[in-house]
Structure 1
Amino acid sequence: MSIAGAPIARIVVGVDGSEPSLEALRQAQRFATPLGAKVQAIACWEYPQVYSGYVMMGIEGFEEGAKKILDEAMEQAFGTELPANVTASLVRGHPREALIDASRDADMIVVGRRGHGGFGGLLLGSVSSAVVAHAHCPVLVVHTPEGGAHAAEGS
C-alpha cells in the first residue's frame, strides 16, 4: 500500500494520554506493521503565557509532566515491550502547530477524536480539526470503540 505511488514509511501519532490518543497509537501500530512503516508518537508541551506567575506559585515541571504522560501512554498502549518500529518524541509547542509541522515529513498523521459520548462524541476536537484541515499528508482520525479501547479486539 502506498500514498500517491510512494510507500508509507513514517506515521506520526499525536499523543496526549487520553484514551482516544492511546487508541490512535494502537491503530497506527496495527496499520504500520504490515507496511514496514515507522511510528513516531509525539507529545507536546509548552510554557503557559504567564509562565513567571506559575513559577512564583511554585508550579513548574511542564516538560517533565508531558514526558511522564508520554511514557505512561506508551506503556498503556504497548505494555513494557515497546514495538521495534515505534519511537516517542517530546516536542515543545502547541499540538496543532507541532503535528501540522510534523506532517511535512510524514506519510500519514493519526490522531484521536475527542469523544464525549452522545452528540458531543460526534465532534472533533480543536487539534484533530486543525490537523485534518491543514496537514501536508493524509490524516486518519481514530475514535475509541464503544465499551472501551479493547472492545473491538474481543469481538
Structure 2
Amino acid sequence: MGNLVVVGVDGSPSSLAAVGTAAREALRRRAELRVVYAFSLPVRPMYTPPDPAPLERLVGEAAQHARSVAPGVQVTEAVLTGEPVAVLEAESRGAELLVVGPRGVGGFIGMLLGSTAVSLATHARCPVLVAREEPAGAGPVVLGVDGSPAGEKAVAFAFTEAELRGTEIVALHAWLPEYAPVGTGVEAPERLLAEALAGHAESHPDVTVGQEVVSGETRAMLVDASRTAQLVVVGARGRGGFAGLLMGSVSQALLHHAHGPVAVVRGEA
C-alpha cells in the first residue's frame, strides 16, 4: 500500500463530509489525497455521454474543500468511467485508506449504505473508513476485539489510528456467558483480550489502552460504544465467520447503525 488516501465523491452532503474526513486522515498520515468521482454509462443505443465539465467542476470543488480542511495536503482529482464500487476497489489497491460516505447521489444513485459502503468494505484492498455527516467527537478509538487471526490487522490499524489522533484506545470484547465452553470462566475472555493486544501496546508506548470485557451481544455493545467514540475499528470478518463470507454480521451492523465513523479492516493482504 502506498502513502495515499482515496476518497469517493458524488456531490452529495454525505460525500462532502467524507472529503473532510479524508483530508484530515491524509494530513495525519502525511499522505497524498486522491479525490475520485466514478460514474457508469447506461448501455443503450445512441446514448450521449455526459458533459465532463460539470463532473470535473464537482470534483474540483470537492478537492478545494479538502484543501480548506487540511492546507498543505497534496490533492489530486480524477473523473473515471466505470461502476463506482469497481472503480474505487481498483483505486484501493494503491492506497493505505479508502474513505466513503454512508450514502450518496449522482454517481452512486441507488447505492445506499448496504451496497456502496458494505461492498467496498468487503472487497477493497485497504481499510475502509465510512464517514458520517456529523463531525466526529473527541472520544477514544473503540476497537472491537474477538481474538480471531483475521482481526489482528484491525488491532494494528486501531493502534496506529489512535497514535495519529493523539487519543486513547478502548479495546472492547463482548461475550455471552451462556454460550461459553464448559469449564471457562471470566478469566478466559479477559485473557483473550490481553493476548490480542499483546505486542501492540509495547510498539505504541504513547497510546493509553483501556480493556473492557462486557457481557452482551457484540453488535449492540459496539453500537452503544460508538456514541462516545471518535472512531470504531473492527475486522471485516471475525471469529466464527463462515469461510465464504467476507463481511461479518458485526461489521455490517456497525456500518448501518453506528453513531460515528467506522473503519473496517480486512484480515487478508
TM-score (norm 2): 0.44
Corresponding residue for 1:113? 236
| Cα distance, 1:99 vs structure 2 | 0.5
Deviates more, 1:78-87 or 1:15-24: 78-87
Alpha-carbon offset, residue 95 of structure 1: 0.7
Q: 1 or 2 for the larger relative contact order (CA 8 Å, sep ≥6)?
A: 1
Q: Where do 4+ consecutive residues of structure 1 move more than 3 Å? A: 1-9, 76-84
Q: Is 2:170 the partner of 1:40?
A: yes
Distance 1:23 1:112 in 2: 7
Q: Distance in 1 between matches of 2:258 and 2:176?
A: 21
Say whether the 8 Å CA contact 2:163–2:206 is kept in structure 1: no
Letter in 1 for 2:173: A
Which residue of the partner structure matches residue 22 of structure 1?
152
Q: Which residue of 2 aligns with 1:137?
A: 260
Match of 2:212 in 1: 89
1:11–1:32 CA contact under 8 A, matched in 2? yes
Distance 2:167 2:204 in 1: 18
Aligned residue for 2:173, secondary structure, equals strand
TM-superposed deviation, 1:76: 4.8
Q: Which runs of 5+ in 2 are unaligned?
A: 1-23, 26-131
Deviation per CA, 1:103-137: give whole Å up to 9, x if none: 1111111000118xxx936x211111111111111
Residue in 2 that maps onto 1:100: 223
CA contact (8 A) 1:111 1:128 kept: yes
Unmatched 5+ stretches in structure 1 = 147-155
Identity %: 34
Query: How far, CA to CA, are the matches of 1:22 and 1:83 in structure 2?
Result: 20
Provide the C-alpha distance between the structure 2 equivalents of 1:33 and 1:60, rounded to a whole number of angstroms: 38
Mapped to 1, the partners of 2:175 and 2:196 lie a distance apart of 15
Whichever of the two has the greater Rg, that structure is 2
In 1, the alpha carbon distance for the partners of 2:252 and 2:165 equals 26
Alpha-carbon distance between aligned partners in 1 of 2:138 and 2:152, rounded to the nearest angstrom? 21
Aligned residues: 136
- Native 8 Å contact 1:74 1:82 kept in 2: no
Give the 3 Å change call, closer, same or farther, for CA 137–5 of structure 1 in structure 2. Answer: closer
* Aligned position for 1:73: 196
TM-score (norm 1): 0.73
Measured in 2, the distance between the counterparts of 1:76 and 1:45 equals 23
The alpha-carbon deviation at position 13 of structure 1 amounts to 0.6
**1:99 alignment partner, SS class:** helix
Q: 1:65 to 1:36 in 2, by over 3 A?
A: same
